[in-house]
Structure 1
Amino acid sequence: MFKKVTIHNDERGLLFRKGSYYKSLQPGTYRLSPFSDDHVEILNIMNAFHVKGKDLQLFMHDDILIKELDMIQVQDNEYVMHYEDGKFVGLLTAGRYAFWNVLKEHTYLRADIHNPELPNEIDPAIIPKLIGYYQTFDVASHESGALYYNHVMQKELAPGKYYFWKGPIGVSVKTVDLRQQQMDMTGQEMMTEDKVTLRLNFVCQYRILNALRALEIKSFEEQMYIRLQLVLREYVGTLKLDDLLKMKQEVTTYVLSRLNEKSLDYGVQFLSAGVKDIILPGEMKDILNTVLLAEKKAQANLITRREETASTRSLLNTAKLMDENQTLFRLKELEFLEKICEKIGTISFHGGGNLLEQLNSFVGDRNHSKN
C-alpha cells in the first residue's frame, strides 16, 4: 500500500532518498512506495527556508528550488535589516539565509558595523525592535558631546539622541556642560609685599566655548584652578596689605584680564571674577582694630571740637545782637524768666513792688549789669 503525501498551495515538499536530498515537490498529492527509503519534508513558504540538521548548501543544485528562494549572505562585519513587502521583520547577523519568494517580496538594508553609527535609512520606528544590537547616548540641550571610537576622538556631537551598533568598535561619548560654571578658590594662603600672610577667598565664573579643546586637557578644572592661583599670587605679591584692602576691584580686573589671555588655550571664556573675603591672622586683626579705634576716636574728638567752636561762635553772635538791640535783650530776659517759672512750683515775694518788678530783680537791671 502506497504512502500518500499531500502538499498544499502555501507549502513546498523536499524529497529525500536514502537520507539525501533528491528534489523539491510542488503543491499536489504524491504516493510513495512503502518499500522505498523516500521521505518528504514539508515546509511552509510563509516561513524562512530551514531544514533541521541540514546545511543550506545541500540544496543549491536544485535549480527549480533555487528559483523560488531569495538567498542572502551576511558577512561577519554586517547586520542586515530584513523587510517583507516593505515591512520590517527582523535583523540578520552573519550567516547565509533563504526566504521563499513565492508569496512575498523580500528587501534588505545592509549596515557595515565597522561604521558603528546607525544608517539614516533606518526608520526610527523600528529601532526599538533592534534591542540587544545597539546602544544609545544622549547629549542634553545644554551640553556638547565628543564621540570616541576605540578611545580615539572622532567628532563633536550636538544635542540629541544617538544610536550605535554593538560590534567590534568600542563606542563612547563624553559630554561637556556649556552652561555658566563657577570656580571657587577657598582659604588660599598668600603673602603681600610687606610680608603679611593672609587667606583669600576668590570666585570666578566661566563658560566652555570649545568642548573638544576642553576634553583634550587632562584634569581640565584642576589646571584652570592652578592658573587662577598663580595669577593671584603674582598680583597680591606686588601689593602692600593696605593697598590690597583698598584695591579689591583692581584685583578683579587684573585677574580677569590675565585669565582671558589664556582662554583660547582652555577653550573657555572667563566672564567675571571677584574677591569674596580677605582673612587676616589674629595678630593682624588686633593691630588693625587698634588702628581703627584710634582713628575713630580722633574723628570723634575733631567733631566735638568743631561743635564747641560753632556753639561758642553762635553765643558770641547772639550777645552782639542783644547788646545792640534793647528790645531783643528784653525779650531774652522774658524768655529766661519763663524757663525759670517752668522749673519752679511756688515763688514767694517779700517787700514792696509789683510782681513784674520783683521778678525782674532776679536778672537785674541791664544798665546795672553794664556798670
Structure 2
Amino acid sequence: MFKPITIQADQRGLLFHKGSYVKRLLPGTYRYLSWTQHTVVVLNIAKPFAVEGKDLQLFLQDEDLLRELDVVRVPDYEVVLHYEDGQFIQLLKPGVYAYWNLLRKHTFVHTDIRQPEIPAGIDRSVVMKLTPYVQCCEIASHESGFLFYDHALQRELAPGKYYFWKGPVSVMVRTVDLRQQQMDLIGQEMMTEDKVTLRLNFVCQYKIVNPQRVLEMKAFDEQIHIQLQLLLREYVGMQKLDDLLKRKEEVASFILSHIQEKGEEFGVRFLGAGVKDVILPGEMKDILNTVLLAEKKAQANLITRREETASTRSLLNTAKLMDENQTLFRLKELEFLEKICDKIGSISVTGGGDLLERLSSLIGEGKAMGK
C-alpha cells in the first residue's frame, strides 16, 4: 500500500528511514510503501531550517541540502546581525543557525563583543531595535567623556551618543563638566591678628581645562575647597579687624594670586573670587556700632559749630555795613517792621519819635496788658 506525499514549490522534504535521515526531496509527489517505514518531514523554505527533535549537524553532511542553505555559526564571543533582502530581522546569539537561500537573500554581520563599542557601520535605526543587548551613553556639548573598559581608561570621548554591547567587558563612561563653575565657602570661622573671631562667606569661580587630571584626583571639589579655606585663614590671620574691613577687596587678589599656582595641579583655571559677607559676633557688632555712633556725633557737632561760626561772622559783617551805611540801616528797620506786621492784625501809631522805639514801646505795653 503506497502512501503519497506531495511537496509544493515553496517546500522541501526530508526523507527519513527508520528515523535516520536519508536525503532531501524536491517539489513533487512521492509514494512509499507503508511497511518500508519511510517518513517525510515537509519544511517551508520561507522559514528558518529546523527539524523538531533533530540536531542541525545531522543534516549538514548532505551536500545537496547544504547548497540550498545559508549556515551561520556564532561563537561565544560574538553576536550576529541577521538581514533578509537587506532588512534587519534579528540578532543571533551564540549557536548554529540555518536558513533556506531559495526565496530570500540572507546576510550576516558578525560583531566581536569583546570590543564593546558598536561599529559605526551598523545603522543607528538597527541599534535602536537592540535595546536589551545594548547600553547607550551620552556626552553633552558642555562635557568631556572618558571611556573605561573593565575600569581601565581607553580614550576621551567628544560630545555625542555612543552605543556599547552588554557583554563580557564592563563599560563605564565618566563625564566632566567644562562650563564655568562656582564654589561657595559659607560661614568660615576665622581669627584675625588681633584675636577677633569672625565668619566669612567667600566665593570662587573656576573652569576645568584638563578634565583627565580631574578624573585622576579623588574628591576633586573637596580638595579645592580645602585649598581655598587654608588660603583664607592665612590671609585673615595676618590682618587686624579694622584693616580687614577696610580692604575686603584685597582678599580676592591674595587668594587668586596664590591659588593660580595650584591651577595646573588641579587641571583648572581660576577666574575670579571675592568676599560676599563678613559676619561679626554680637558683642563686636555692638562695640563697632557704638564707635560709629560716636564718630557720627562728633562729625555732627563739628558741622554745627562750623555753621554757628559762619552765621556769627555773617551777622558781624552785616552790623559793620549798617553802621557805615544809614540807608542800609533804614532798610533793616523796614524789614523788621514787615516781620512784626506779619504777626499782628492792625497797628495804630500816633505822635512823633523814632519809629522803632515807638513800635518797641507798643509791643512792651501789649505784653503788660496780656499779663
TM-score of the pair, normalised by structure 2: 0.92
Q: Which residue of 2 aligns with 1:233?
A: 233
1:307 alignment partner in structure 2: 307
Aligned twin of 2:180: 180
Contact 1:333 1:363 in 2 (8 A): no
* Alpha-carbon distance between aligned partners in 2 of 1:228 and 1:278, rounded to the nearest angstrom: 16
Mean CA deviation greater in 201-210 or 62-71: 201-210
Amino acid at match of 2:281: P
Partner deviation per Cα, 1:48-100 (whole Å, 9 max, x = no partner): 11111211211122111111111211111111111122111111111111111
Cα distance in 1 between the residues matched to 2:153 and 2:137: 15
Letter in 2 for 1:353: G
After TM superposition, give the deviation of residue 241 of structure 1 in Å.
Answer: 0.6
The corresponding residue for 1:272 is: 272
Moved more, 36-45 or 147-156: 147-156
What is the match of residue 368 of structure 1?
A: none
Equivalent residue for 1:47?
A: 47
CA distance in structure 2 between the aligned counterparts of 1:290 and 1:344, rounded to whole angstroms: 49
C-alpha distance after superposition, 1:260-294 (max 9, x if no partner): 22122222222221111111122222221121111
Q: How does 1:19-168 map to 2 (within 5 A)?
A: 19-168=19-168
Distance of 1:200 and 1:168 partners within structure 2: 52
1:361 Cα deviation (Å)? 4.1
The equivalent of 1:289 in structure 2 is 289
Structure 1 residue matching 2:239: 3-state secondary structure:
coil
Alpha-carbon separation, structure 1, partners of 2:258 and 2:38: 92
Q: CA deviation at 1:174?
A: 2.1
Rounded to whole Å, the distance in 2 between the matches of 1:94 and 1:40 is 30
Please name the residue that 2:368 is paired with.
Answer: none
Matched, 1:353 2:362: no
The residue that corresponds to 2:367 in the other structure is: none
Separation (CA, whole Å) in 2 of partners of 1:50 and 1:216: 54
Q: CA deviation at 1:246?
A: 0.8
Structure 1 unmatched ranges of 5 or more: 365-371
Q: Is the 8 A contact 1:191 1:236 kept in 2?
A: yes
Contact 2:82–2:89 (Cα < 8 Å) also in 1: yes
What's the secondary structure of 1:52's corresponding residue? coil
| Equivalent residues of 2:137, 2:163 under 8 A apart | yes
Partners of 1:3 and 1:32 within 8 A in 2: yes
Counterparts of 1:135 and 1:227 in 2: how far apart (Å)? 39
Deviations 1:109-168 (A, max 9, x none): 111111111111111111222131111122223332222212222222222222111100
Give the secondary structure class of the aligned counterpart of 1:322: helix
Distance 1:148 1:134, change over 3 A: same
User: Partners in 2 of 1:63 and 1:110 — Cα distance?
Assistant: 25
The answer to whether structure 1 residue 202 and structure 2 residue 218 are counterparts is no
SS in 2 for 1:111: strand
Counterpart AA for 2:333 = E
Give the C-alpha shift of residue 358 in structure 1. Answer: 4.0
Deviation at 1:197, TM superposition (A): 1.1
Q: Which residue of 2 aligns with 1:17?
A: 17
Alignment match, 2:364: none
Measure, in 2, the Cα distance between the counterparts of 1:137 and 1:50.
38
C-alpha distance in 1 between matches for 2:359 and 2:146: 102
C-alpha displacement at 1:240, in angstroms?
0.8
Give the drift of 1:363. Answer: 7.0
Q: What's the CA shift for 1:39?
A: 1.0
Distance, in Å, in 1 between the alignment partners of 2:215 and 2:39 is 67
> Within 2, Cα distance between the matches of 1:61 and 1:112?
28
Query: What is the SS of the residue equivalent to 2:127?
Result: helix
Q: 5+ unaligned residues in a row in structure 2: which ranges? A: 362-371
TM-score, normalising length: structure 1: 0.92
Matched position secondary structure for 2:96: strand
Secondary structure of 2:118's match? coil
**What SS does structure 1 have at the residue aligned with 2:323?**
helix
Letter in structure 2 aligned against 1:22: V
Once the two structures are overlaid, the 10-residue window that deviates more, 125-134 or 239-248, is: 125-134
The separation in 2 between residues aligned to 1:122 and 1:58, in whole angstroms, is 34
1:217 partner letter: M
Residue 366 of structure 2 corresponds to: none
Matches of 2:355 and 2:285, distance apart in 1: 66
Deviations 1:227-276 (A, max 9, x none): 11011011111111111001111101111222222122222222221111
Q: Is the 8 A contact 2:333 2:356 kept in 1?
A: no
* Separation in structure 2 between the aligned mates of residue 10 and residue 261 of structure 1, nearest angstrom: 79
Alpha-carbon distance in structure 2 between the residues aligned to 1:87 and 1:342: 110
Letter in structure 2 aligned against 1:6: T
SS at match of 2:35: coil
Could you tell me whether the CA contact under 8 Å between 2:18 and 2:38 is conserved in 1?
yes
* Partner amino acid, structure 2, of 1:68: E
Shift of 1:343: 1.8
- Judge conservation of contact 1:147–1:171 (CA < 8 Å) in 2: yes
Aligned partner letter, 1:21: Y
Provide the residue aligned with 1:211 in structure 2: 211
Instruction: State the shift of 1:360 in Å.
Output: 5.7
Over residues 312-355 of structure 1, what are the superposed CA-to-partner deviations in whole Å (9 max), with x where a residue is unaligned? 111122122222222112111111111112122343545x238x
| Structure 2 contact 70–98 (Cα < 8 Å) conserved | yes
Aligned-residue sequence identity (percent) comes to: 66
